[in-house]
Amino acid sequence: MAEGPASKWRPWHSVAVIALTGFFVWMAVWLPWGVYPSWIVAMVVLTVFTLVVGRGVTGAWKGAFVDERLRMSLSRLQMAAWTVLVVAAFGTIAIARAQTDPVTAMNIVVPETVWLLLGISTTSLIGSPLIKNTKKEIPAKVEKAALLVRRQGKLPNDVTLEGQIVMNTSIAEASFADLFMGENVDNFTLLDIGKLQMFFFTVLTVLAYGSAIAQSLHAPELPVSLPDVGSGILPLLGISHAGYLMSKAASTPNLGQEGEPNG
C-alpha cells in the first residue's frame, strides 16, 4: 500500500516553507530591489515554493502538476503558471505601493479580462477531472482493453485501468510526455492534438501577458493596475480550452461488447 501524503513531509519541507514565507515578508518590509527585479524574484520564489510543497505532499518534485491518475496534468501546469505570473505581479506592485501609501497599497485594479482569463483556466482545471470521473464509471471489458493496450505497444500489466481511464501505479511513472498524450485506453500512448494546441496557446499567452507586465513595471510611474489582457487573446484561449475539454469528452470505443472495438 502506498504511503499517505503525511509520511512524505519531512522537517526540511517545513523549514523551506517558513524560510520562503519569511523571505516574502522581508521583501515586503525592505523592498531591496527595484520593482521589475522584485517581480522576477517573486516568480522564482513562488515557483520554488510550489515545487517544495509538491515534493513534501507527494514525494516528487513534480507532485504539484500530477493529478489523481498519477500522470502529469496540462491543466494543473497551466493554472500554476498563471497563478505564479499574476500573483507575483500583484504582490510586487502592492509591496512597492506600500512603501509610500500603505493604506491604499492593495487598491490595485484587476481588469475584467484578467478575471476571465483565470476563469477559463479554472474551468479546465475543474472540468477535466469531472469528464475523467464520468469515463471512470464506464466499464471496460478486460479482453477489449488488453487488445487496445497491445495495439499501442504496451503489455496489459504495464497499465492500470479505472473504467476507460488509464492510470499509473506510482507517481514516479509520471513524465512531461503525459502533457501531450491521451488519457483513454485507446489513446494513452498517442499524441492528443487538443493538448498540443492548448500548450501552444498557453505558452503564447503567458509570454505575451508576461511581456505586458514587464513593460508596465519598467514605466517611470508605479502602475495602479495589472495590464489588460486584450480582447484578442481571450477568444484564442477560450477556443483552445474548449477543444481541450471536447477532446476529453469525446467517446472512446465501446469496450463492453464482444468482438473488435468499434470506432
Distance separating alpha carbons of residues 254 and 17, to the nearest angstrom: 48
Q: How much is the average pLDDT of 27-55?
A: 91
Position 180 pLDDT exceeds 80: yes
Model confidence band, residue 49 (pLDDT cutoffs 50, 70, 90): very high
| 198 or 54, higher pLDDT | 54
In tens, the pLDDT along 52-103 reads 999 999 999 999 999 988 999 998 999 999 999 999 999 999 988 888 888 8
Q: What percent of the chain has pLDDT over 70?
A: 82
Between vectors from CA 127 to CA 123 and to CA 128, what angle results, nearest 5°? 120
Domain ranges of the chain: 5-249
> For position 86, what pLDDT does the model report?
93
> For position 135, what pLDDT does the model report?
63
Please provide residue 166's backbone torsions phi and psi, each rounded to the nearest 5 degrees: -90, 130
Query: Which neighbouring-strand residues pair with 66?
Result: 72
> For position 112, what pLDDT does the model report?
85
> For position 212, what pLDDT does the model report?
92
Distance separating alpha carbons of residues 236 and 143, to the nearest angstrom: 41
Distance separating alpha carbons of residues 248 and 195, to the nearest angstrom: 10
Model confidence band, residue 197 (pLDDT cutoffs 50, 70, 90): confident
In tens, the pLDDT along 18-33 reads 999 999 889 888 878 8
Position 254 pLDDT exceeds 80: no
Predicted structure pTM score: 0.80
Signed CA dihedral, 86, 78, 111, 228: sign only: positive
Query: Could you identify the residue written with the cell 486584450?
Result: 230
Model confidence band, residue 51 (pLDDT cutoffs 50, 70, 90): very high
Q: How crowded is residue 32: how many other Cβ atoms within 10 Å of its Cβ?
A: 10
Position 48 pLDDT exceeds 90: yes
> For position 5, what pLDDT does the model report?
44
